[in-house]
Chains A and B, each alone.
Chain A
């Protein structure tokens, strides 16, 4: 063991009095405030939804609904799930999945949205697309 020195092994049944608290209990007031905010955003989601309010927000409605849901989810994750106080690695481990998930969304949705649109001829009537054979016949004839 030349380049790796060794260190004394643990004793058995080593007793450690736990001084280093990894617990960071957040205040009960904060939890209640978050809970109240979540209820408010739920009310908001329902209130602006077309089937309930009759508001016509068109294509923006999906965006708004998902935005409100994302805010709610962020509150739960940051405070209830303690991500705000958690290690950077735990944040990366969980939130990193959203980046990869967005790749699944990006490519599948852009495929479905643009399928069959590259070739303008494909959308023209069939008789204009008949292959032209006479040049080959001409060559074959000589």
Chain B
């Protein structure tokens, strides 16, 4: 380990404070220092690049879907092509973007910092799961070239057995992506159990850690069932195993059971880390300890457990047993309790706080608004009788986009904006960031509120054409998608611009107090200058905020570079 002990006298460095060690970004360079890294922060950044690219691809596909639906007969594609486009949108967004998005990128970067640890417990497994993610993504891309997939992201049998498209390679891609997710979750559970700082008891962990913990439990327990399901689906194609194929004595509804045993908990794999991010952002930017800390912590765990009891609410029209449906519908209602506890606690945290309407906070507020819409419409859909009417309509589409896109993706952006100065030591243009947050909030609602309406009027999802009555709703929705697209393009633009020449970040940009804000900005290779020990309360803003208002220190090479570039010297 190279240690960069300051040799420049602070008096000759123009008043710039010097770091004890170089940052993780500057400690080594070259392509291999990234591709072969065991550093959780660099792995997190590689994930960040990967999932953002997947999001842009999935988003472009979504925009094509919206453009196609501009006219009742479909403006762009043949119906068969349309099926492939929305399927690929689903697969990219669900398996490649949203499941790894927050845990694997932000979680990887922030979790060890919050625990005061030098790294995750299993760094090599961490890198391996990144390469599994790459392999799964390559298999998915290969499937697109090799005939695409037109089954929807759910691969329901028997259609997925009859279609001539690349279900096997896509299924194997999902299998590999699943193991990437399992290993990330497993790693984080062990990290949280074994790597916490001295003095950091379970109830002195930031709520993001609790959310990641609950998520990881789901990843470890639910994902193997998805693995065996897509494996059996592949066997169904390779040798007609027959389990899901009525022609050979099998039961297609069993496929749906297996699929949703994973995919319902997976909904919480997607949203729980987002809830964790929002807890952190709201606390820091309201300058207040979280209201109901233990309630939020336990609600994460109880959401994880309840999520295993409700998967049948995706199957109310599948022909499963009526008795089981009643049980599933009843159990689904219980999800609303811990979810509402979280929402009320966040609102109560903001109440009376010293709220800074910074860019991350605007994203968090947008999250609160849209998540409430998504959550409440979920109660409608969990109600058996109502779902019979709304099943497979645009109401469902709008509901899960409110939860996935409007909540998880917005929480992801809130988190990226929140930790960006910690990650790179630079700040983006906050004015543009606020404009982008507003554009996305407006664009989202213009896109999806008409979908709630036309869904309740009976517009089915996944149709390439529709009757003329729905055209106005579809057109408003497409305009909204364009607004969303402008918001995202703007975001990518100012984020990249900040890397090229953004303002230098403060040592503690937002004034956070959890251990992640105790590291140098950006952190050292092993994160902390000195091993942290927690003594005080978590979220205690009254007894001083570390390094608040100070400039981030530089190491001497960085200082020399800046002096050369800007032409000043002591």
Contacts and interface: CB of A to CB of B under 8 A. Distances in A.
Interface of A: 1-10, 89, 93, 96-97, 100, 103-104, 107-108, 110-119
B261 A104 contact: yes
B535 A4 contact: yes
B218 to A, nearest CB: 10
B319 interface: yes
B162 interface: no
Given A9-B531, A111-B320, A115-B321, A4 B536 contact: yes
A121 to B, nearest CB: 13
B232 interface: no
A100 B307 CA distance: 11
A107 B312 contact: yes
B221 A100 contact: yes
Contact of A6 (B193, B532, B543): B532
B251 A112 contact: yes
Contacts of B221: 96-97, 100
Contacts of B258: 104, 108
Given A110-B324, A114-B323, A3 B533 contact: no
A127 to B, nearest CB: 23
Contacts of A103: 308-309
Contact of B225 (A4, A89, A104): A104
Given A97-B221, A108-B257, A119-B322, A5 B535 contact: yes
Given A10-B531, A100-B221, A1 B261 contact: no
B558 interface: no
Contacts of B513: 3
Contacts of B251: 112
A4 B547 CA distance: 13
| 5 nearest A-B pairs in the assembled complex, by CB-CB distance | A3-B536, A2-B544, A118-B322, A114-B321, A6-B530
Among A89, A108, A111, A119, residue most surrounded by chain B Cβ atoms (within 10 Å) = A111
A4 B321 contact: no
Contacts of B532: 4, 6-7
A93 B546 CA distance: 37
Nearest to B536: A3
A1 B518 contact: yes
Given A97-B221, A108-B254, A4 B261 contact: no
Contacts of B257: 104, 107-108, 111
A119 B322 CA distance: 9
B18 interface: no
16 contacts: A1-B518, A3-B535, A3-B536, A7-B530, A93-B189, A97-B221, A100-B221, A100-B222, A100-B308, A104-B258, A108-B254, A108-B257, A110-B323, A115-B319, A117-B323, A118-B321
A45 B427 CA distance: 69
Interface string B531-570: 1111111001001101000000000000000000000000
A111 B319 CA distance: 10
Contacts of A104: 225, 257-258, 261
A108 B251 CA distance: 11
A5 B320 contact: no
Interface string B256-275: 01100100000000000000
A4, A7, A115: most-surrounded residue (chain B CB, <10 A) = A4
B198 interface: yes
B18 to A, nearest CB: 18
A10 B529 CA distance: 11
A8 B531 CA distance: 7
A96 B540 CA distance: 35
Interface in B138-197: 189, 193
Contacts of A7: 198, 530-533
B350 interface: no
